[in-house]
Each structure stands twice: as structure tokens, then as C-alpha cells.
Amino acid sequence: MDSFVLPSFISPNSEDIKRRIYARIRSDLHRIEAEIDRNINSSIPLISVVARHIMGSGGKRLRPLLMILSSRLCGYTGDRDVSLSVVFEFIHAASLLHDDVVDHAEFRRNQPAANTIWGNPGVVLVGDFLYSKSFLMTVGYNNIRILEVLSSATTKMAEGEVLQMVHSDNLEVDEEEYLEVITRKTAVLISAACQVGAIFGGASPEEEEALRAYGHHLGIAFQLVDDTLDYTGDVKELGKPVGNDIREGKATLPLIYTIKKAKPSVKKRLGEIFCAEEILPENFLEVREMVMRSGGIEYTLHSAIEHVQKAKESLDIFPAHPTKETLVEIADYVLCRRV
Amino acid sequence: MDSFVLPSFISPNSEDIKRRIYARIRSDLHRIEAEIDRNINSSIPLISVVARHIMGSGGKRLRPLLMILSSRLCGYTGDRDVSLSVVFEFIHAASLLHDDVVDHAEFRRNQPAANTIWGNPGVVLVGDFLYSKSFLMTVGYNNIRILEVLSSATTKMAEGEVLQMVHSDNLEVDEEEYLEVITRKTAVLISAACQVGAIFGGASPEEEEALRAYGHHLGIAFQLVDDTLDYTGDVKELGKPVGNDIREGKATLPLIYTIKKAKPSVKKRLGEIFCAEEILPENFLEVREMVMRSGGIEYTLHSAIEHVQKAKESLDIFPAHPTKETLVEIADYVLCRRV
């Protein structure tokens, strides 16, 4: 399948940005990897194996990284940040495990999904372990406000997952409902990582709010781009098939926009495909063609650009600082990432 | 199926004890029910419906009750106990929901199991919601020690569930490993409810430890009796079929004892039945006969009696007090309960 050519308003130099960001965060990434490794062990081998499978396979470590950068931007200079940061990777991993059970996923990042190897029971229970362990690790930091942000985030995430399930196979979802779902399923945890970083770094209330907002908009943009990649991405780069969302009955913004703009005949055809028992590769290509033609991809990417803009503006209250530059570059990178 | 006649060392007056306890705790139970009802609502209807199904169907409310009684025994007299107490029912409900997914359960308390109505995805996600909501509710109490006990308990519970799954279809489990599993899967949360009650009630370290130990031994006894009821219980009273454990490949103490004492021929026959693809009703009757004859039920109940004894002794450090009497009676009731 051809990969989609990025619109000209987005810089094609994603590899350049990636290299630049990587040079700045390399040592933090090493610390994060070592800390994940240290915490992944359990006296029960199955837990370590499943956790290693879901967390050891080339994740971006975006959430821990944002927590560390946020605390640093607020003045933290010690090394206790890293243990707290991996909590966000643990929660993310737990939600991926439970998602795979919910979606009957077969692949994740070019590997068989955990549930296809260890079955639903093991995956549900290891997910539970990772959630609980996250809270236990956070309690050690003796900070109620951090625990409040974290438990509020996981509660909203769980509600978001239920909401997405309730909406599945429903083409009538509007943009507002969709934004509510992606706020809860993606933005809330990214936002919490930034806010917790701020609290941990001793932020003022304004700084905390700024980083919370940065994470929120970054998270929305991240998910919007993700949703376009499910139409336009390269299968090999993504490590999972494209067209997943439609197959799982998820109407995302590219499709929601397309339906809103479509003539009744197109709308009817989309409805037929979307609600069919099975969605064949040619059906997906047909939907993709309609989405491309309607401008659904551009519309979604424009929305992502606006959120990236808001994310960067949220950082305006901070003075110039290398960490601020890194956060700005991460926001830019979200727009041109291909995986 | 005939129900098993309780050995003579156990008082048959379970209805008397039940009535006496109920008279003491009636108003607390009403407060607990009202508080569960108040907290069960979510803006997402499916969450309320599934939560209501799992929590509205005649549970014993043992965990919230123990939390309230423990705090009262340590001197608490206000009304903020009840919101904290229902956290333990929420966590219990979440673990039941995930258990039903893990065990492919069809019934619970005379009703279809939630997963047979709403499917695994909904049940997994509502379970996640209840776990997260529990932490969020607890954070409101602004007490790190309580959060520490709670997150440590749920982490151990999750490990216990994985451990039980790993041991399933394994007849070689010994008594020590079995005790480790039931400690984690049952005793840990009951013990945490008592310990949190103590902390909330302003207990001294000795009082806190006493109530933790009370809950631990009570929890072990509770599960031991449960495991005998799966062999000897009345199907109608229990609200679920007997023989569940064997069908799910769980070797509990009555069977573990029987295997340890059995002649090679009996051991071989038990192994054949236990490892078969399907366990027919007549297979269960055959196993039950062997377990009864070997004294596996008496052995397990004797062990339960010892733990009840230890639970009651743990309370020795407290002076005479009506709440202490209630806790003692609850411990006695665990031995003669039929459901």
C-alpha cells in the first residue's frame, strides 16, 4: 500500500527533528529503560514475561519522558524523577494490555499481541498488576496531589474506554463526542504525566496548569495523527495493519468528517461497509479513497496542528530553557511522525 | 445433592449467630448500602448498570463492615467512615468482574455472570473503572498510609490471581503454595479493610497490627470454608453450582489433603479426572466421595477453626467493647456459614 504524502504545510524533515530530539533526550531515555527493567521483575515469572513483552518492544517512552522534562522545566535537578516517570509507562502498558483484550487485537508493533500468546486471563491479570504496582510506586513519593492527578486520570481513562466501546459500530458519533473519547483515552494520561512532573518539580499553580494544558493538547494532537496514520500509514513502519479502526468499528475524525460532508449515496455506502460483519481489504481501500477525496485527512491534520500550536503556546509562561525547546520540538515532531 | 452435615465441633446454630450479628450491624449495613448506591452512578450508563449488577445482588458487605467496625473499635465515632468503607466493596467487585472473565464463569449468586450479559470487553473495562475509582475515593482522605495499605493489597491480589492461574490444572500444589494463593486472593483485602479501619480510627501501632492480623486470619478461614462449600454446599443456597473449583482446574485444600493421603491408585484416578477436558457431574461426585472419605473436609475445617481462633486472639489487646464482641461473632459465623 502506498504511504500517504504529507501535505506541504507539514515539514517533511521528520528524521531531522527526530535526530535533534534524540540527541537531547538520549541520557533520559537510557535512565528510563534501566528503571523499567529494574521494576518489571516479579517473583511470579508470568508477570515479568508479559510485562516485558508489552513494555520491551520499542515503545516511545513518551509519557515518562514528558514527566521528566516537565519536572526539569520547573527546576528539579535530582534523580528521583525517573522512578516516578516509569509509573506512566506502566499505566500505559496496562491500558494497552486491556485494550488488546477488548479489541481482540492480533498484532501490536510487529509482534503478536500478548493475548494471542498468553490468552485473555493472563493479560487481564497482568494488566491489573501493572495498574496496582503503579499506585504502589507512586505512594512511595508521599504526595497526595500527585496521587490525586494519577487516580483521577486512570478513572477518566477507564470511563473513556467504556465510552469508546459503547460508541463502537456507531457512525453517528460527532466530532465533539470523538474529542471526548480521545481526550480520555489518550490525552488524559499524557496530560497527567506533564502535570505530575510539574508538581514533582515544585511548580507554581500557573506552571502546573501550563504543563497540564501542554500535555492535554499534545495528547489530542498525538491521537489525531494516530487516527490519520490508520488510513495513510505504512504497514511495515507502523508494525500493525492499517484500517484497524474501521475493522474494530471505530469512527475516527477522518471518517466522521467524511460522513458529515458526504452526499446521501456516499453516506449510505459508508454505512453499509462500516456495519458489515467483515470488512475486506477492498472495502477499506474504498473507504480510504472516500476519506482522502473528502479532505478528511487534511481536516484532521489541521486540527492536530491547532492543538500542537496550543500546546506550544501553553509553554509561553516559561523563560527560554533547553528543556522548553525540547518540549516544543516534541510537539512539532508529533505532527510529522510516521509511526 | 445432599448437603454435607457439619461436624459436631461446629455449632449448628448459624441462623442464631446470624440474627445476633445482624441486630448489631443493621444500621451500618443500611449506611453501606446507601453509600454504594450513591457512588455507583457514572455519567456513562453501562458503567452504572454493570456495577449495579455486580454490587447490587445481595453481597455480604463483609469488607466495608469490617473497616467500619475496626475504626470504631479504635475509637472513631464520626460518619466519614462509610465512604472509605465502600472502597473495599468496589475493589472486591472489580476483582469479581475480572475473575469471571478469567474463569469464564456463567453464574454468580443465582444470576448470570456479568460477562455472559455484557461480554468480556465491557466487564474488563468496568472492573478497571471500579479499581481506579476506589483509589480516587481513597485519595480524598488525604492519608498516605491508608493509600499504601490499599495499593499494596491490590498489588498482592493481582499477583495472587496470576499465581492461581499459573497453578491451575496442577494437582501438585502443596498446602503451603495453596495458603499463599488464598492469602493473596482473599485474606489480603479483608486484612487491608481491617488495617485501614484501624489507621482511620487513630489506632496505636499495636492496635493496627492486631486488626491486620484479625483480618488476615479471618480471610484465610473464610476462604477455607468457601473451599469446603464447593464440595458440600447446597446449590440453591450458594447461588452457584458446586464443584466449580475442580471444573476450573483449582486444587483447593480438601483435594490437596486427599491427594497427599491417597494410595497410588486413587491418586492416579484423581489425576485422570482432574486433567480431563471435561468434568462430568458423575466425575465430581466421585471426587467428592474420595474427598469426604479421606477426611479432606474435616482437615480443611480444622484449619479454618485454627485461623478463627487466631483471629479472635488477635483482638485480646482490646478491652471489652460491644464492637469487639461483634468482631468475635463474625469470626465465629465464618465457620458455620452455609453461603
pLDDT per position as a tens digit, B97-147: 998 888 777 776 667 888 888 888 889 999 999 999 999 999 999 999 999
Residue B158 to residue A129, Cβ atoms within 8 A: yes
Residue A4 maps to a domain: no
Its domain, for residue A190, covers 14-336
pLDDT at B141: 97
- B111 phi/psi in degrees, rounded to 5: -125, 155
Residue B39 belongs to a domain: yes
Q: Cα separation of B35 and B17, whole Å?
A: 26
Q: How far from each other are the two terminal CA atoms of chain B, in whole angstroms?
A: 15
With H, G, I as helix, E, B as strand and everything else as coil, classify residue B108: strand
Does A280 map to a domain? yes
DSSP letter for A215, please: H
- Interface touch B121/A144, C-beta < 8 Å: no
Residue A8 domain flag = no
CB pairs under 8 A between A and B: 138
In the structure grid, which three cell numbers stand for residue A25, read together?
A: 533526550
Binned at pLDDT 50, 70 and 90, residue B1 comes out as very low
Q: Which of B236, B245, B242 is nearest to B110 (CA)?
A: B236
Residue B302 lies in a domain: yes
The pLDDT > 90 percentage for chain A reads 65
Of B230-244, B261-275, B290-304, minimum mean pLDDT range? B230-244
Least confident of A28-42, A55-69, B4-18, B271-285: B4-18
Q: Which three cell numbers stand for residue A130?
A: 501493572
Q: Which of A76, A124, A81, A125 is nearest to A100 (CA)?
A: A124
pLDDT of A240-261, one tens digit each? 677 888 888 889 999 999 999 9
Classify residue A88: in a domain, yes or no. Answer: yes
Number of domains in chain A: 1
Task: Give me the pLDDT at residue B7, please.
Answer: 44
- Does B163 contact A at CB distance below 8 Å? yes
pLDDT at B240: 66
- Per the domain annotation, does B308 fall within a domain? yes
Which of A:13-72 have CB within 8 Å of B? 42-44, 46-47
- Return contacts of A55-62, CB within 8 angstroms, 24+ apart: A55/A89, A55/A90, A55/A93, A57/A108, A57/A109, A57/A111, A58/A109, A59/A89, A59/A92, A59/A93, A59/A109, A61/A29, A61/A32, A61/A33, A61/A89, A62/A190, A62/A222, A62/A330
State the angle between helix axes of A188-200 and A144-167 in degrees (0 to 180), rounded to the nearest 10: 170
pLDDT tens sequence across A137-181: 999 999 999 999 999 999 999 999 998 888 887 888 899 999 999
Beta bridge partners of B144: none
C-alpha cell at B149: 495499605
Interval B307-323 mean pLDDT: 97
Residue-level pLDDT at B249: 82
Cα separation, B50 vs B117, whole angstroms: 9
Please report which residue ranges of B233-321 form alpha helices under DSSP H.
Answer: 235-238, 244-247, 253-261, 264-275, 281-294, 296-314
DSSP single-letter state for residue A10:
S
Of A124, A148, A162, nearest to B98 by CB-CB distance is A124
In a domain, B35, yes or no: yes
- ipTM value greater than 0.85: yes
User: What percent of chain A shows pLDDT beyond 70?
Assistant: 92
Q: Per mean pLDDT, which of A307-311, B169-173, B228-232 is the most reliable?
A: A307-311
Distances (CA, A) of B242 to A72, B189, B228, B278: 58, 24, 10, 15
| Cβ contact, residue pair B125, A151, below 8 Å | no
Give me the pLDDT at residue B237, please: 65
Q: What angle do CA B255, B256, B261 make, to 5 degrees?
A: 95
Whether B162 contacts chain A with CB within 8 A: yes
Location of C-alpha cell 453464574? B107
Element (H, E) at A100: helix A81-103
A322 burial (CB, 10 Å; 0-12 / 13-18 / 19+) is exposed
Of residues B220, B233, B241, the one with CA closest to residue B334 = B220
Does the pLDDT of residue A3 top 60, yes or no?
no
What is the CATH classification number for the domain harbouring A182?
1.10.600.10
The least confident of A288-292, B111-115, B209-213 is B111-115
Best-predicted range by mean pLDDT (A4-13, A115-124, A202-211, B23-32): A202-211
Do B132 and A142 make contact, defined as CB atoms within 8 angstroms?
no
pLDDT, mean of residues B178-196: 96
CB-CB: which of A101, A125, A158 is closest to B161? A125
Contacting residues of A for B132, CB less than 8 Å apart? 131, 151, 154-155, 157-158
Q: How far apart are CA A126 and CA A84, in angstroms?
A: 20
> Is residue A9 classed exposed, middle or buried when 0-12, 13-18 and 19+ CB atoms within 10 A define those classes?
exposed
